[in-house]
Structure 1
Amino acid sequence: MTVDINFNVHSDARGGDPDSTSPTLRKYHKILWSKPLPNGIFFELITTKTGAYLYHNSELGEFSLGSDAITHSYRNQKRKQWLIKQVSNEVNELFDIGSTIGAYTVFPKNKIDNKFTINQARGVNSLIDDRFDLTLECIRLSYEGQGNPLYDTFLRYKKFFELFDNFSGYVDFFLLNDLLDENQNVKFYLPFDNFKTKPTFNGIEDYKLYKKGVTNFVKSRNKRIENYIKLNTKMPAHNNV
């Protein structure tokens, strides 16, 4: 198994969205997330299913997963251009670190009842604004049965989240540990008010603080991914690519 944590997934995306057009990103997802679940059953993902990005079908259920960027520089978001133009160097640096494998995960890609997927809901919900720290808090709350801005969305994909038993199992499986503190609480990029107000940047310093939190997480997760690969290079190969 080989995963280059410095590889820029835009470099082989042919000008498209790496989530759908980068073959290397797809390969890395398959390598990283084809592994035993907390219950010990091997969660094998294949790329040979027509029309599916990553696919699993077993006694566990049928799952069609897609890639999702979990960092956001907001470089192209129109309503933030007033700020983005002031910190273009910071934005480009964050965009680059967000182009490595540590800045990506997978979620179910199939629509249910013609409603938003997780990826879509994260992007359009104004209380989340595509921030993964806030998304992870919603995941934590959902595992505890507590309401949150993404609760109904996650409930539609209950079978997926049940694969990991609980929040700790989910975090461990997807190597997200570096976004939690020693008490297993989410390390928010900016001050958090329990979803009372919409997340925003009040100015340059807010963006720099946000960038620092995201960068620290992605770099730490990349290192965790690298260590995971080193520890598991002797695992049986599953070559359904």
Structure 2
Amino acid sequence: MIDVKFDVYTDTPFRGDPDQRSQTLRRYHELLWSKPLPNGHPFKLSTEIRGAYLHHNSSLGEFFLASDSIGHTYRHSKLLADVISQVPEDELNDLFALCSTIGAYTIFPGRRIDRKPTINGARGLHPKIGDRFDLTLECIRRHFSGEPSPLSNVLERYREFFDLFGTFEGYVDFFHFQDLVLIFTQN
């Protein structure tokens, strides 16, 4: 039912953002993350609420979720231009192809609280995070362990979302981030 090689840009309007415009990516998120939470409660996502990318409403709470890319080439980053210029073009293209599949996306709460940035916005704009998912995942680990991080404020705002997973391990297992955690802990 899910083609892990599907390029989400192929059903995204020209120059559009797959996070917002790819119907296949949205459907894949709905299929992948509509499953039991670590505590056994069902986490059924719906695309039927007008204006919501994905929606969940149950005794666990109401959640409006949005897609977020976790894989980046940094090809257009001025800050990293010197580094990126040393990477062969075909390798950048291969990485971009991988970053255009469902494996390079996740979901986070998508509604602003008190007009403050969402997790997606905060991690993209924070100078110490720079949209890097490895650093975001470390901030999430610290959130679960009660340690401070550059994203402490925004993660605390969305505490109810993280509470769904019970522990960092529950979060990692739910979203299949085991390999990312393994890579980070080995480096």
Determine the C-alpha separation between the residues in 1 that align with 2:53 and 2:76: 25
Match of 1:205 in 2: none
Match of 1:153 in 2: 154
How far is the alpha carbon of 1:36 from its aligned partner? 0.5
Match of 1:8 in 2: 7
Identify which of structures 1 and 2 has the higher relative contact order when contacts are C-alpha pairs closer than 8 Å and 6+ apart: 1
- Any idea what the Cα deviations from partners look like across 1:170-226, whole Å, max 9, x if unmatched? 001001111123xxxx6169x6xxxxxxxxxxxxxxxxxxxxxxxxxxxxxxxxxxx
Q: Which AA in structure 2 matches 1:21?
A: R
Greater shift in the superposed pair: 87-96 or 102-111: 87-96
1:187 to 176, 181, 184: 184
Determine the C-alpha separation between the residues in 1 that align with 2:139 and 2:86: 31
Q: How many residues align?
A: 185
Check conservation: 1:134, 1:188, Cα contact below 8 A. Answer: no
How far is the alpha carbon of 1:114 from its aligned partner? 0.9
Taking a change above 3 Å as real, the CA distance of residues 18 and 188 of structure 1, as seen in their structure-2 partners, is: farther
- Any idea what the Cα deviations from partners look like across 1:12-49, whole Å, max 9, x if unmatched? 11121100010100000000000011111110000010
Match of 1:79 in 2: 79
Determine the C-alpha separation between the residues in 1 that align with 2:47 and 2:70: 22
Match of 1:36 in 2: 36
Q: What does 1:49-68 correspond to in 2, within 5 Å?
A: 49-68=49-68
Determine the C-alpha separation between the residues in 1 that align with 2:3 and 2:90: 25
Q: What does 1:221-240 correspond to in 2, within 5 Å?
A: none
Match of 1:108 in 2: 109
Describe the SS at the equivalent of 2:79.
Answer: helix
Determine the C-alpha separation between the residues in 1 that align with 2:110 and 2:120: 8
Describe the SS at the equivalent of 1:11.
Answer: coil
Describe the SS at the equivalent of 2:63.
Answer: strand
Determine the C-alpha separation between the residues in 1 that align with 2:150 and 2:69: 19
Q: Which AA in structure 1 matches 2:151?
A: L
Match of 1:223 in 2: none
Match of 2:69 in 1: 69
Match of 2:47 in 1: 47
Q: Which AA in structure 1 matches 2:41?
A: I
Determine the C-alpha separation between the residues in 2 that align with 1:136 and 1:125: 14
Greater shift in the superposed pair: 63-72 or 80-89: 80-89
User: For the aligned residues, what is the CA RMSD?
Assistant: 1.5
Question: Which stretches in structure 2 are left out of the alignment for 5+ residues?
Answer: none
Determine the C-alpha separation between the residues in 1 that align with 2:179 and 2:83: 28
- Which structure's CA Rg is the greater one? 1
State the TM-score, normalized to the length of structure 1.
0.73
Check conservation: 1:164, 1:173, Cα contact below 8 A. Answer: yes
State the TM-score, normalized to the length of structure 2.
0.94
Q: Which AA in structure 2 matches 1:98?
A: C
Describe the SS at the equivalent of 2:114.
Answer: coil
Identity over aligned pairs, percent: 54
Match of 1:176 in 2: 177
Describe the SS at the equivalent of 1:25.
Answer: helix
Check conservation: 1:25, 1:101, Cα contact below 8 A. Answer: yes
Match of 1:162 in 2: 163
